Amino acid sequence: MVLKKLFLIFIYVINLIFNIHTQDYNVRDFGAIGDGITDDTNSIRAALQAAANSNGGRVIFDSGYIFFTGCFQIYNNTILDVQGTILGSNSSDHYGFPGINSTFFNTMAWQSLIFGSNLANVTITGGGVIDGQGANWWPCFSDPSLPPCSNKTRPRLIELNVIKDLVIHNVTLQNSPMYNIALNFCDTAHIYDIKIFNPPSCWSTCPPLASHNTDGVNMYVASNVLIENSHISTGI
């Protein structure tokens, strides 16, 4: 209990120091439309890049909007303030990324929707929704050659590699093509008050919308991680 309290105070202080330097970057100011149809990928990437250029900031996705997007990278000292909905494209056209096109373990994988490597001080929050439209990808579980997979592994919803001081709270993740949150080489993370919804899976007779490998939080080499007060429903 004492350790847990100390840990929470530690996280709180980190957030406090971090927030003082925060500037706002609203994706709509970078041209995002948020109608659920227009491709907002470039606007979102531009907002994140602008935040990164000033060593971090709060990137805001307004409530009441649906931001349709392909994959995008997250940088140091970023708060992803998801008040509305981020709707991931379900087309493989949106999951290449110049020079990357892979997950941490599998170069033959589509890039994860939200990804980042070698970074610190990231918060994902806002009360909104990140939806991966996984239904198009789940049938690849039984036949990887099917599009959109076409023999490449499915993208994760959020994949952060070599990450320090991460907070994910008050956000709903749903319909991920694969793992919802993948953390590889993670030091110090607090994940709380989140919801993860994916359709249930099956062993033999499957409902039409069975999700597969939609793990909640999948960690590889992680320390000081606290996950609490969350609802996580996944498919096998």
Q: How far is CA 236 from CA 151, 157, 233, in A?
A: 20, 16, 10
Does 8 help bind ligand NAG (rule: CB under 6 A)?
Answer: no
Give least dist CB 99 to ligand NAG, A.
Answer: 5
Under rule CB under 6 A, which residues in 105-134 are in contact with ligand NAG? Answer: 118-121, 126-127, 133
Q: Which of residues 165-224 bind ligand NAG (CB under 6 A)?
A: 170, 193
For residues 126 and 149, give the distance between their C-alpha atoms in angstroms, rounded to a whole number. 31
Residue of minimal Cβ distance to ligand NAG: 96
Cβ closest to ligand NAG, residue 118 vs residue 142 = 118
Q: Is residue 90 involved in binding ligand NAG (CB under 6 A)?
A: yes
Task: Name 73's bridge partners.
Answer: 115
**Which amino acid is residue 227, in one-letter code?**
I
Shortest distance in whole angstroms from residue 222 CB to ligand NAG:
18
CB atoms closer than 10 angstroms to residue 204: 4
* Residues near ligand NAG (CB under 6 A), total: 24
The one-letter amino acid at 15: N
Residue 32 to residues 60, 68, 224: CA-CA distances in angstroms? 11, 9, 36
Say if residues 85 and 62 touch (Cβ distance below 8 Å): no
Indicate the residue among 75 and 141 with the shorter CB distance to ligand NAG: 75
Sheet holding 172-174, edge to edge: 35-39, 66-69, 85-88, 129-131, 172-174, 195-197, 231-233
Outline where the chain has alpha helix (H): 2-20, 41-53
Interface of this chain with ligand NAG, residues 146 to 165, rule: CB under 6 A: 150-151
Q: Does 99 bind ligand NAG (CB under 6 A)?
A: yes
The answer to whether residue 64 forms part of the interface with ligand NAG (CB under 6 A) is no
Q: What is the smallest separation between the CB atom of 218 and ligand NAG, expressed in angstroms?
A: 21
What part of residues 70-89 is at the interface with ligand NAG (CB under 6 A)? 75-77, 83
Are 52 and 86 in contact, with CB atoms under 8 Å apart? no
Span of 3-11, 23-31, 96-104, 181-189 interacting with ligand NAG by CB under 6 A: 96-104
Nearer of residues 17 and 226 to ligand NAG, judged by Cβ: 17
Which residues contribute to the site for ligand NAG (CB under 6 A)? 17-18, 75-77, 83, 90, 96, 99, 101, 118-121, 126-127, 133, 135-136, 145, 150-151, 170, 193
